[in-house]
Amino acid sequence: MTLTPRPGIMEIAPYVGGEAAIPGKNRVIRLASNENPLGPSPLAIAAYASLEKDLHRYPDGGARALREAIARAEDLDPDRIVCGAGSDELIALLVRGYAGPGDEVLHSAHGFLMYALSAKGAGAEPIAAPERELNADVDALLERVSENTKLLFLANPNNPTGSYLTEAELRRLHQGLPEQVLLVIDAAYAEYAIEDDYCSAMDMVAEFGNLVVTRTFSKIHGLAALRLGWAYCPPDVADVLNRLRGPFNVSQAAQAAGVAAVGDRQHLERSRAHNTRWLNWTVERLSAIGLDPRPSAGNFLLVRFAGESGRSAEAALAHLKKNGILVRAMGGYGLPDCLRITIGTESETRAMVQALEGFAALAEAGPASEKRA
Ligand SMILES: Cc1ncc(COP(=O)(O)O)c(C=O)c1O
C-alpha cells in the first residue's frame, strides 16, 4: 500500500521563485522578485535587531500592536485585519476556508500563480478567464462564474502584467458577482500605483460582506525575508481566517519590523518616488531600442521580445545572466516571449538597461556577432 495524497495535490507544479544566484558570479543584480531595491526602513531594521534578547518568547498570536499600527496608518478597523506569513499564506487560507473538492476558484488568465496553486492545494478547480490584451476582463470573469464558484482572485495591480482595473471596473465586477462568491482583491503593489483612477478597494471592504483585500510587507516595505502580509476583511471572513491560521503564524520579528515599517511614511514615499522615476526612465530607454514594455502600475515591467532566435526572451535572459543580471522568465505564466524586470537601484537599473541595449545591438548585427561577443 502506498500513501495517497488528496486529489489535486500531485497536479501542483511547485512554485518556482525568482533566481537569486548565478554560479561563478559573486556580484549579482537581482531584478527577478519585485523586491524593494532600497531595502526596508532603517526603523524596521532597528526594531528587528532589538529582538535578539527575546528569541525564547512566543510572539503575540493576535499580532495586536501590528494590527493597530496598520489600522492607524491606513485609517482602518484593527479587528478586521488578519496578519499572515506573507500574503501567500492568507491567499491559501482564504481558499481553504471557502473552497474544496467540486468548487471552482476563478482568476484572470495571467493572474498571480498562487491563486491556481492554492486552489489545487485545497482540492478545488482553478478556472482562468481570458484577458483583453493582458488586462483582466470583467465581462470574461463574470461569464465564467458558475454555481460552483466560491472565490474570485484579482491582483490589482497584477503581477506579472502590471495592469490594473479602475475603481469603476472593480465595482462592476463586484456587482456582477453572486453574494456567495468571495471577491479577493490582492493589492500587493498598491503603494506603487500612482494612477489617479487606481483604488486599492480598501473602502469597499466596509461596504460588502463578500470582499477581502490582501496586502503585503514584501514589496514597498522591503520585508520579503520576514514573510508578512495582511488581509482586510468583513468580520465573518476575519473570523474564518483566525480559526484556520496557526496560533503563532507571524513571527515576533515580522511583527516588530512591520510596526516600524508601517509608521515610516518617509521611507515609503522615498521608495515610491524612486520607483516612479526609474520605471519611467526604463520604459523610455527600452522603447528607444525597439522593445515594448507594457505600462505598469507596479515596481516591475513586463517586456515582450521578438520570437526569432537571437532576439527572443530566452536569448535576452541568457545575455542578462552573462552580465550578472537576473530577471524573471515568464514561461510559467504562459508568456514565454516575455521577461519581467523589477526596477532596481539607480545603478542596477542603468546596468540592466545597458545590458539590454547591448543585446539589441548584438541582435541587430546578427547571430555571428553574438557568437563572437
Ligand atoms: C500579486 C502578488 N500577490 C501576492 C504576492 C505574495 O507576496 P508575499 O510575499 O506577501 O507572500 C506576490 C509576490 O510576488 C504578488 O506578486
Residues 107-139 pLDDT 10s = 999 999 999 999 999 999 999 999 999 999 999
Per-residue pLDDT at 111: 95
- The pLDDT, as a whole number, for residue 22 is 87
- Is there an atom of ligand 1 within 6 Å of 35 CB? no
Kindly state if the Cβ of 218 falls inside 6 Å of ligand 1.
yes
* Closest C-alpha among 41, 36, 42 to residue 344: 36
Q: Which atom of ligand 1 is nearest to the CA of 229?
A: 10
Q: Which atom of ligand 1 is nearest to the CA of 33?
A: 14
pLDDT for 362 equals 85
Query: Which amino acid appears at position 124 of this protein?
Result: A
The residue written with cell numbers 462564474 in the block is: 145
Global pTM value: 0.95
Please give the number of the atom of ligand 1 that sits closest to the Cα of 157.
Answer: 1
Q: Is the peptide bond before 336 cis (omega within 30 degrees of 0)?
A: no
Between CA 321 and CA 328 the distance in angstroms is: 11
Is there an atom of ligand 1 within 6 Å of 28 CB?
A: no
362 near 346, Cβ under 8 Å? Answer: no
C-beta of residue 248 within 8 angstroms of C-beta of residue 107: no
Give the Cα-Cα-Cα angle 218, 220, 226 (nearest 5 degrees). 25
Q: Which of 218, 221, 340 to mutate to test the pocket of ligand 1 (most atoms within 8 A of CB)?
A: 218
DSSP secondary structure letters along 352-372: HHHHHHHHHHHHHH-HHHHHH
- 216 Cβ inside 6 Å of ligand 1: yes
215 Cα: distance to centroid of ligand 1 (angstroms) = 8
Which atom of ligand 1 lies at the shortest distance from residue 34's CA? 14
Grid cell locating 56: 525564547
List pLDDT tens digits, range 276-290.
Answer: 999 999 999 999 999
> Do 106 and 152 touch, CB atoms closer than 8 A?
yes
Return the residue whose CA atom lies nearest to atom 2 of ligand 1: 188
